[in-house]
């Protein structure tokens, strides 16, 4: 018989079971391994986790509120939970410090932990001078070994092929051996411009007394951080997260596919699920979410393009980016394949800008700690890439400002998908566009100081200038890319005066951006 981790035959020894702020489910590996009779669960609100980057206050509030509720639920079901609040005078200030303090208190010499979602914290937990057993995070549908064996020997690690394998393995949206409807991917049906009327709103949860206490704490302690803690209406426990999911499946999923790429000033979430924070901190399980979407399709309530598009985000993209993060290793976040060096301009922190799309995305991010995928990719990300901003600064911005940001998911999306800083591991070509794309998919341009139709001149949409300047700057790298050949052909066909004016006006714009002007 296998000895359980850290146990000696016959001896009853207390072990510390570490549960981090984004591991809030009773099914988590460390709790599954634990013994309710003899082990002690350690949970701690610590300054080190709240401040290694200056997170959006809503994100800190979400983590603390959900941690407190989860700890109370564990206690109610008989666990010995040693919970440390941020303002506890004995708080050691870091996860390793809290483990050592609790080891001293209980006499434990062993820690059972579920692998954290950031290399930084994995190293810190492994370095704790106790016997540390790290168990693989069991909340994902592809294990490290699954992903490694899929990736092994492949020249290109494209998400689409990984996704097909995951569909086959899980049986999700499969009719026997074939994909439901005969096609794996219905993305071509998912690019409709913004709809006229949208009447979907995610469920808003009114904070109870325990959450109010957290909001007040966060307001005081993190007053200088970027972002508004109130209003706070997010799900903070599993019951609420399930309600939010059911509401989404019933009311928004049918339209998810069609309008996935659309952006509307008056409707910040459109038909998106707003479940990423619940998934990432453990309140929802990815398989239950995918099954709920498939059930809605099988019941005839949701079209296939919507169910498939939604399931692809979770079964495909979410699992795939995690695989890449752990496959590529800790240096992934410092990659800079395009050698971009510009500093992140103040407009990302709410500084004045005349670009309405950016002003809107940043304002929304400050207020909600949320922007949907296309806002992140094609507005803030697109601009940073076109302007040649240092990907490390862009990465830190995304990690700080979004409610769902943990490095395992944020870094591949930012460094890889959005900034092409990994040299093309995730994206087969850079996600860049001129203003025309934003104009087609949103209502932002109508209220902008710039003219999206103007290609050059003082009124010209900066995306129009920067787009061509980016292609020109990186010609050696991208010209041979078959997916970009058309773009270069179009650029080369423009007359020489127009090209020269575009490049010099782009340079002037970038100079003014770097000087801190409100461009
Ligand atoms: P929906 O659009 O309703 O999608 C449903 C679910 O699919 C999401 O909740 C999410 O779990 C999953 N999903 C969708 N797209 C992706 C993706 N590209 N990668 C991984 N999962 C995905 N997502 C995060 O969870 N955390 C991040 O820190 C994060 N950073 C991002 C940074 C950039 C630059 C970009 C372009 C994308 C980032 N994403 C991140 C992916 C995506 O934007 C968010 O998952 C999504 O906007 C969350 O909102 P939602 O729940 O309404 O998603
Ligand atoms: C994000 C976060 C914050 C703000 N605070 C805490 C905390 O006080 N205690 C904790 O256990 N976890 C926190 N977290 C989540 C961790 O930062 C997260 O586990 C790692 O970033 C790995 O994903
Ligand atoms: Fe953004 Fe250009 Fe449209 Fe203005 S005109 S909102 S800068 S895309």
pLDDT tops 80 at residue 11: no
- Asked if residue 329 belongs to a domain, the reply is no
pLDDT of residue 260: 83
Please check whether residues 263 and 352 belong to one and the same domain: no
Q: What is the DSSP letter of 53?
A: T
Please check whether residues 110 and 166 belong to one and the same domain: no
Mean pLDDT of 248-261: 90
Residue 142: Cβ-neighbour burial (10 angstroms; 0-12, 13-18, 19+): buried
Assign residue 72 the CATH number of its domain.
Answer: 3.40.50.620
Q: What is the DSSP letter of 385?
A: H
Q: Which of 413, 349, 405 is nearest to 381 (CA)?
A: 413
- Looking at ligand 1, which atom is closest to the CA of residue 380? 34
Q: Across-strand partners of 84?
A: 44
Angle at 469 between CA 420 and CA 191, to 5 degrees: 60
Please check whether residues 36 and 116 belong to one and the same domain: yes
pLDDT tops 90 at residue 198: no
pLDDT of residue 4: 66
Assign residue 371 the CATH number of its domain.
Answer: 1.10.579.10
pLDDT tops 70 at residue 1: no
pLDDT of residue 258: 84
Please check whether residues 237 and 358 belong to one and the same domain: no
Mean pLDDT rounded to a whole number for the chain: 95
- Asked if residue 5 belongs to a domain, the reply is no
Closest protein CA for atom 3 of ligand 3 = 445
**Residue of 17, 22, 326 best suited for mutating to test ligand 2, as the one with most atoms within 8 Å of CB:** 22
pLDDT of residue 9: 61
Is 17 close to ligand 3, i.e. is its CB under 6 Å away? no
Structure tokens at 506: 């782009």
Lowest-confidence range among 93-97, 262-266, 317-321? 262-266
- Asked if residue 11 belongs to a domain, the reply is no
Is 377 close to ligand 3, i.e. is its CB under 6 Å away? no
pLDDT class of 261 with cuts at 50, 70, 90: confident
Domain boundary among 83, 118, 135: 135
Contact 191, 367 (CB under 8 A): no
Find the domain containing 450 and state its range. 346-514
pLDDT of residue 192: 79
Using DSSP's 3-state secondary structure scheme, residue 343 falls into coil
- Asked if residue 483 belongs to a domain, the reply is yes
Q: Which residues touch 355 (CB under 8 Å, ≥6 apart)? A: 347, 383, 448, 449, 450, 462, 519
**Residue of 380, 448, 468 best suited for mutating to test ligand 3, as the one with most atoms within 8 Å of CB:** 448
Please check whether residues 187 and 295 belong to one and the same domain: yes
Please check whether residues 110 and 38 belong to one and the same domain: yes
The total of structural domains in the chain comes to 3
- Asked if residue 336 belongs to a domain, the reply is no
pLDDT class of 10 with cuts at 50, 70, 90: low
Lowest-confidence range among 67-81, 218-232, 253-267, 320-334? 253-267
User: What is the 3-class SS of 145-182, one letter each residue?
Assistant: HHHHHHHCCCCCCCHHHHHHHHHHHHCCCEECCEEHHH
Please check whether residues 157 and 130 belong to one and the same domain: no
Q: How far apart are the C-alpha atoms of 324 and 230, rounded to whole Å?
A: 35
Please check whether residues 308 and 376 belong to one and the same domain: no
- Looking at ligand 2, which atom is closest to the CA of residue 45? 8
Is 509 close to ligand 3, i.e. is its CB under 6 Å away? no
- Asked if residue 335 belongs to a domain, the reply is no
The string of pLDDT tens digits covering residues 21-75 is: 999 999 999 999 999 999 999 999 999 999 899 999 999 999 999 999 999 999 9
Instruction: State the distance from the centre of ligand 3 to the C-alpha of 446, rounded, in angstroms.
Output: 8
Is 49 close to ligand 2, i.e. is its CB under 6 Å away? yes
Distance of CA 8 to the CA centre of its chain: 41
Please check whether residues 84 and 150 belong to one and the same domain: no
Q: What is the pTM of this model?
A: 0.97
Domain boundary among 318, 338, 355: 318
- Looking at ligand 1, which atom is closest to the CA of residue 399? 28
**Residue of 313, 383, 392, 393 best suited for mutating to test ligand 1, as the one with most atoms within 8 Å of CB:** 313
pLDDT of residue 434: 98
Please check whether residues 356 and 377 belong to one and the same domain: yes
Assign residue 287 the CATH number of its domain.
Answer: 1.25.40.80
Please check whether residues 83 and 116 belong to one and the same domain: yes
- C-alpha torsion angle, residues 87, 225, 232, 116 (rounded to 10): -70
* Residue burial 151-161, b: 16+ Cβ < 10 Å; e: rest: eeeeeebebee
Instruction: State the distance from the centre of ligand 1 to the C-alpha of 317, rounded, in angstroms.
Output: 8
pLDDT of residue 3: 53
pLDDT tops 90 at residue 424: yes
pLDDT of residue 8: 64
Structure tokens at 141: 């549908």
The string of pLDDT tens digits covering residues 325-342 is: 999 999 999 999 999 999
pLDDT tops 50 at residue 2: no
CA distance readout (Å), 131 to 13, 127, 268, 355: 13, 10, 47, 54
Please check whether residues 187 and 111 belong to one and the same domain: no
The string of pLDDT tens digits covering residues 344-372 is: 999 999 999 999 999 999 999 999 999 99
Q: Which residues touch 367 (CB under 8 Å, ≥6 apart)? A: 227, 228
Q: How far apart are the C-alpha atoms of 270 and 264, rounded to whole Å?
A: 7
Is 398 close to ligand 1, i.e. is its CB under 6 Å away? yes
CA distance readout (Å), 197 to 250, 310, 439: 17, 21, 18
- Asked if residue 360 belongs to a domain, the reply is yes
The string of pLDDT tens digits covering residues 447-485 is: 999 999 999 999 999 999 999 999 999 999 999 999 999
Is 44 close to ligand 1, i.e. is its CB under 6 Å away? no
Domain boundary among 135, 159, 190: 135
pLDDT of residue 173: 98
Q: How far apart are the C-alpha atoms of 72 and 79, rounded to whole Å?
A: 9
- Asked if residue 6 belongs to a domain, the reply is no
């Amino acid at each position: 018989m296998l000895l359980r981790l850290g146990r000696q035959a016959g001896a009853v020894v207390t072990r510390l079971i570490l549960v981090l702020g984004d591991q809030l489910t009773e099914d988590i590996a460390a709790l599954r391994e634990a013994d309710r009779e003899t082990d002690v669960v350690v949970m701690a609100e610590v300054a080190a986790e709240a401040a290694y980057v200056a997170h959006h206050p809503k994100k800190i509030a979400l983590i603390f509120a959900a941690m407190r509720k989860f700890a109370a639920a564990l206690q109610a079901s008989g666990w010995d939970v040693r919970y440390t609040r941020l303002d506890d005078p004995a708080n050691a200030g870091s996860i390793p410090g809290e483990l050592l303090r609790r080891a001293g208190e209980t006499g434990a010499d062993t820690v059972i932990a579920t692998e954290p979602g950031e290399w930084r914290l994995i190293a810190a937990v492994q370095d704790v001078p106790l016997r540390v057993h790290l168990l693989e995070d069991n909340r994902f549908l592809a294990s490290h070994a699954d992903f490694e064996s899929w990736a092994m020997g492949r020249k290109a690690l494209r998400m689409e092929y990984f996704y097909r394998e995951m569909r086959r393995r899980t049986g999700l949206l499969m009719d026997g051996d074939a994909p439901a409807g005969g096609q794996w991917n219905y993305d071509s049906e998912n690019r409709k411009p913004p709809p006229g009327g949208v009447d979907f709103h995610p469920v808003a949860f009114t904070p109870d007394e325990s959450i109010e206490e957290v909001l007040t704490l966060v307001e005081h302690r993190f007053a200088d951080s970027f972002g508004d803690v109130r209003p706070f209406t997010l799900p903070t426990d599993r019951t609420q997260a399930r309600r939010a999911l059911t509401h989404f499946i019933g009311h928004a999923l049918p339209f998810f596919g069609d309008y996935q790429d659309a952006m509307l000033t008056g409707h910040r979430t459109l038909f998106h699920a707003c479940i990423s924070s619940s998934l990432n901190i453990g309140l929802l399980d990815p398989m239950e979410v995918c099954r709920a979407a498939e059930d809605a399709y099988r019941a005839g309530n949701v079209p296939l393009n919507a169910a498939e598009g939604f399931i692809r985000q979770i079964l495909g993209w979410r699992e795939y980016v995690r695989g890449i993060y752990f496959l590529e290793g800790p240096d992934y976040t410092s990659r800079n394949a395009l050698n971009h060096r510009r500093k992140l301009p103040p407009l990302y922190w709410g500084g004045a800008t005349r670009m309405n799309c950016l002003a809107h995305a940043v304002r929304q991010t400050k207020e909600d700690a949320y922007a949907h995928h296309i806002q992140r990719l094609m507005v803030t990300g697109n601009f940073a890439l076109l302007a040649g901003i240092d990907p490390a600064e862009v990465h830190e911005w995304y990690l700080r400002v979004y409610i769902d940001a943990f490095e395992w998911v944020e870094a591949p999306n930012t460094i890889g998908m959005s900034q092409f800083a990994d040299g093309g591991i995730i994206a087969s070509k850079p996600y860049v566009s001129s203003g025309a794309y934003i104009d087609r998919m949103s209502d932002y341009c109508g209220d902008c100081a710039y003219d999206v139709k103007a290609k050059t001149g003082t009124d010209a949409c900066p995306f129009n200038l920067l787009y061509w300047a980016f292609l020109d700057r990186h010609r050696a790298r991208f010209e041979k890319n078959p997916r970009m050949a058309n773009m270069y052909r179009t650029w080369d066909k423009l007359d020489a005066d127009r090209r020269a004016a575009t490049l010099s006006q782009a340079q002037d714009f970038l100079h003014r951006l770097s000087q801190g002007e409100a461009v």
